[in-house]
Amino acid sequence: MEMSKTKKILRICLVVVLIALFLGLMYFILNITGLWEKLNSVDKLQTIILELGFWGRFAFVFLQFLQVTFIPVPSPILIIAGSLIYGPFEAGLLSIAGILLGSALAFFLGRVFGKRLVVFMVGKEAEKKWRAFLSSCKYTFVLMMILPFFPDDVLCMVAGLTEMSWTFFMVTQLITRPISIFLVSYLSSGQVIPYHGWGLIVWAIIIVSSLVLIYLSSKFNDKIEDFIKNIFKKRKKNNENTK
């Protein structure tokens, strides 16, 4: 028993050290190349990706992968930069590839290496807050992954600490990520809703509606959870009766 516990601690320590080294290496590379100061600017990111030519697509996917777990770059900034370069559709597909891989890795880290690593990555308060929420509101997680106001990267990693199954997590990602990514990709381009005239009214309605939806989902999350659970139970029962 003691030996297995020691091995587990050593394994966690090794992973933490490797992640710290990886983060240090990434920061060194980004800092020495001047990319670190440009990561939070759409215009500067656009310039960087364009300068890479053919390899820009691979760099874009890699950056989307990293932003889920390792580098503090909001995904909408990358999606908008990609949309300006490759167009909303291609940028959306590239973003989906990188973000899905990053989300799977985040969940894997939480599931395999446990609380200590997650606390190290996201902080004690965030881990405690979102773990308590996700443990009782698994289905509300689906809504949270669609709306752009929640910390998706933190939620994915903390979800690995809960009883959420790999299947439920990945199905949720496959459904919600394309929706949220393509919404940001197309809406940010200004092709669907312009940033002038009637578009300003529509943008105001979208923002207000999103805020109301967030408020209602947080206030009535127990009822939403029960409602969704009942739907799944009824469908399961109907499937059993038809067999």
**Side chain identity at 237, as an amino acid letter?**
K
* Region of 230 on the Ramachandran plot (φ > 0 left; ψ -120 to 50 alpha; else beta): alpha
122 and 210 co-located in one domain: no
Domain range for 211 is 197-243
pLDDT band at 190 (very low <50, low <70, confident <90, very high): low
136 and 86 co-located in one domain: yes
pLDDT mean over 112-118: 81
> Is 90 exceeded by the pLDDT of residue 100?
yes
CA 192 centroid distance within chain: 24
Cβ of 214: how many Cβ atoms within 10 Å?
15
48 and 67 co-located in one domain: yes
Residue range 32-48, pLDDT digits in tens: 555 555 555 556 666 77
SS3 call for 150: coil
113 and 224 co-located in one domain: no
pLDDT mean over 192-213: 70
Torsion angles phi and psi, residue 194, rounded to 5: -70, 160
Predicted confidence at residue 173, as pLDDT, reads: 92
Q: Which two tokens stand for residue 142?
A: 């689906």
3-state helix, strand, coil in the chain (%, to 5): 85, 0, 15
Angle at CA 74, nearest 5°, toward 177 and 200? 80
Domain count across the chain: 2
Q: Which residue has the higher pLDDT, 28 or 167?
A: 167
37 and 88 co-located in one domain: yes
Q: Which two tokens stand for residue 88?
A: 């909303």
